[in-house]
Structure 1
Amino acid sequence: MNQPLLLSATQKAGPRLTIVIGGLLLVLLLALPLLSLLPAQSPLQVSAYTLTLVGKILCYAIVALALDLVWGYAGLLSLGHGLFFALGGYAMGMYLMREASGDQLPAFMTFLSWSELPWYWTGTNHFLWALCLVVLAPGLLALVFGFFAFRSRIKGVYFSIMTQALTFAAMLLFFRNETGFGGNNGFTNFRSILGFGITEPGTRAALFLATVLLLLASLYSGWRLARSKFGRVLTALRDAENRLMFCGYDPRGFKLFVWVLSAVLCGLAGALYVPQVGIINPSEMSPTNSIEAAVWVALGGRGTLVGPLLGAGLVNGMKSWFTVAFPEYWLFFLGALFIVVTLYLPKGVIGLLKKRGEA
């Protein structure tokens, strides 16, 4: 076999292997909720804890993919995506709290001696309105913030600091009991969703499948966006914004669109996270969580879509073990991991795998 044919065969082998591995992972994810419905005596039965843990990691993977759209393709490092994730979670949590309380006020409002629901709780007992809030709350906030930030041509480290300040300010606001979001305890003690018991195996399996479908839809949308003309403009915006402007493009509209899209994806992920985990509180808005999301993307490989999913899975898998075995050392390990990735894996795990494949 001559050299050109050998190179062609090698280049085709990589994508095929990726497709095969991705297909096997998809089959495994689709099988998990079915295995969770098996009797407890079955050796193949998946526990509720395992299903919840994997579902939580999948929600984080959607956040990583959303962050990759703005950081990996548009060059906008956000350190506040935890805010959009939490807003989607709170919107769904409001509906779940109304489901649990029935015709009464939510338990935390009764404890605080409130006499009526705040105006912004109106309609939250309807699932469709809750879904609208899941999209509108993070989407409108991202639209307003992005409009003024991009109009002022704020970028680089200044943009990152502003996003971090935004999520920190929101966290302090939601910690207050006067805001009507449960204070530092947040929302918990959910009982049902759409009339189905939230702890029932069938409900858990349905929520897990919905998370898998959202992840696939987000991945496919990101792939189509990256391969389109819009995606090529985004990468040009990331690499040489001034040259793009000289070519007659206005970067503000492109930045704003991908920024709002990323925020909405985070909100949807948060909405699926809350009923599976069973709690939402202001700690989800902590800047530390947003920084962790940046570590997921950096570890996996930004600008690759698949890399951030891998990074989210690896980091959160290690976190689940570390926080049980060595909880006091987790943040030190996370910081060291980010330093190692920055110095020795600038293109992440995906970049390393591609390099070894080419070799």
Structure 2
Amino acid sequence: MFFRSILNKDRGGTITLSVLFFIAVIVPFCNLVIPNHHPLHIDTFTVSLLGKYLSYALLALAVDLVWGYLGILSLGHGAFFALGGYAMGMYLMRQIGDRGVYGDPVLTDFMVFLNWQSLPWFWHGFDQFWFACLMVILIPGALAYLFGRLAFRSRVSGVYLSIMTQALTYALMLAFFRNEMGFGGNNGLTDFKEILGFSLQNDTTKVMLFVCSAVALIIAYIGCKTVINSRLGRVAVAIRDTELRTRFMGYDVDNIKLWIFVLSAVIAGIAGALYVPQVGIINPGEFSPLNSIEVVVWVALGGRATLFGAIIGAVIINYAKSWFTVALPEVWLFALGSLFVLSTLYLPHGVTGLFNHSPKIVKGWLKRGFKT
């Protein structure tokens, strides 16, 4: 009854969550139960790849929440994703202990290499999983709160706000590249061994990380949908469409924008935390502004302001990227770029718009001369 009320009139979301639940059950079964030689067996590499796609889908969901329903085009959500990833990466590095290259039970390998004499203060506590999980939420949330409070109180909006978010993630990328920051510099954090005492090389651990990604995506979708269906969500849509009118009606526009922005940043941080143990590395390249721009493309291709469209767009593009790099290694960038251009021209409402606006889309194709 609870889920029915949340997903009321959200057929796309219902189908998407059903598919997510199905793969969360069938993929572990095909990996752990079905023998390797069987055609239905799913290898561990594919499981980790699917888990990475789901982490990206969670990040896309976070962007769609603020862009699709609040009208804030954030080009810096990669920063929150990377911060969540670094928080989890720091915990994983502390679990290595004396199994590192230099055998130091406290200092990580890069700290020993750089002649650090003691563990930096901001690394303390990351030997505990609960503390790392808390930081995954608090660090991106605190940064989003500080940035959002300054920006929204100053009435910065539109393209200027987008540029500021991009500048934020670029500044963090430059900072994290520096060795003296204490985050591994250019190489970042890698060579992880275990999580909660379970080896990251074990098939069962990788399957559980995949399941956690699927469950987190389902919970985040339901949470975002609950916000959108609430009075807060309706006011957020009003802010997106007519901010001045909403402000004149007496609503606290700045605080509404702030708290939804913070929620979105927290979701992005959780996505980063799920991404790192499945990929096995986190480095400053994740802060790259290009990564944040690419996330916006995922949302646009899938369908803005649908939530489930962001999930579909993230999975489609990342699968296409993986396929093109293998099938067309020399021209995969051009192939992927063509996909973006064609989707912009002929799918103005994204892939999900085909279901809701198909007659109008076909009519538009015919007007443009898009005939078979």
What are the equivalent positions in structure 2 for 1:90-129 lying under 5 Å apart?
90-102=86-98, 103-129=105-131
Matched, 1:31 2:44: no
Say if 1:338 and 1:130 are closer, same or farther in 2 by CA, change over 3 A: same
SS of structure 1 residue aligned to 2:147: helix
Distance 1:22 1:285 in 2: 29
Shift of 1:29: 3.1
**Superimposed CA distance per residue, residues 104-151 of structure 1 (whole angstroms, 9 cap, x where no aligned partner):** 311111111111111100111111111111111101000000000001
State the alpha-carbon separation in 2 of the partners of residues 146 and 279 from structure 1: 29
The verdict on how the C-alpha distance between 1:16 and 1:292 changes in structure 2, with shifts beyond 3 A counting, is closer
Question: How far apart are 1:152 and its partner, in Å?
Answer: 0.6
**What is the alpha-carbon distance in structure 2 between the residues aligned to residue 323 and residue 142 of structure 1?**
34
Q: Distance in 2 between matches of 1:184 and 1:339?
A: 33
Q: 1:157 aligns with which of 138, 156, 159?
A: 159
**Structure 2 Cα separation of the partners of residues 17 and 183 of structure 1:** 42
Alignment of structure 1 residues 51-70 onto 2, 5 Å: 51-70=47-66
Evaluate the alpha carbon distance shift between residue 16 and residue 307 of structure 1 in structure 2; reply closer, same or farther with a 3 A threshold: closer
Give the aligned partner of residue 102 of structure 2: none
Residues 321-330 or 77-86, more deviating: 321-330
Structure 1 segment 144-293 matched on structure 2, within 5 A: 144-293=146-295
One-letter amino acid matched to 1:356? S
CA gap 1:319/1:42 in 2 versus in 1, 3 angstroms? same
State the Cα distance separating 1:326 from its structure 2 match: 3.7
What are the superposed Cα offsets for residues 71-96 of structure 1, whole Å, 9 maximum, x if unpaired?
Answer: 00000000010010000000000010
1:329–1:76 distance in 2 versus 1, CA, 3 Å: farther
| Gap change, CA 1:338 and 1:16, over 3 Å in 2 | closer
1:312-346 Cα offsets, whole Å, 9 max, x none, are 01100111112234446444444444444444322
Q: What residue in structure 2 maps to residue 135 of structure 1? A: 137
Provide the alpha-carbon RMSD of the alignment: 1.9
For structure 2, the residue ranges without an aligned partner over 5 or more in a row are 1-8, 99-104, 363-372
Give the match for residue 38 of structure 2.
42
Aligned sequence identity (%):
54
Partner Cα separation in structure 2 for residue 305 and residue 172 of structure 1:
32
Q: Which residue of 1 aligns with 2:4?
A: none
Contact 2:67 2:73 (8 Å CA) reproduced: yes
- Tell me the TM-score normalised to structure 1 length: 0.91
Alpha-carbon distance in 1 for matches of 2:339, 2:39: 36
Instruction: Answer yes or no: is the 8 Å Cα contact 1:34–1:205 preserved in 2.
Output: no
- What is the identity, as a one-letter code, of the residue corresponding to 1:27? F
| Residue matched to 1:321 | 323
* Preserved CA contact (<8 Å) 1:95 1:125: yes
Distance in 2, matches of 1:273 and 1:16, equals: 28
Which structure has the highest helix share of the two? 1
Aligned 8 A contact 2:17 2:218 in 1 = no
What is the aligned partner in structure 1 of residue 307 from structure 2? Answer: 305
Instruction: Give the C-alpha shift of residue 199 in structure 1.
Output: 1.2
What is the letter of the counterpart of residue 51 of structure 1?
V
Match of 2:70 in 1: 74
Deviations 1:266-323 (A, max 9, x none): 1001111101110100111111110110001001111101110110011001111122
Note the alpha carbon deviations across 1:40-87, whole angstroms, 9 max, x for none: 233322111100110000000000000001000000000010010000
2:236 maps to amino acid: L
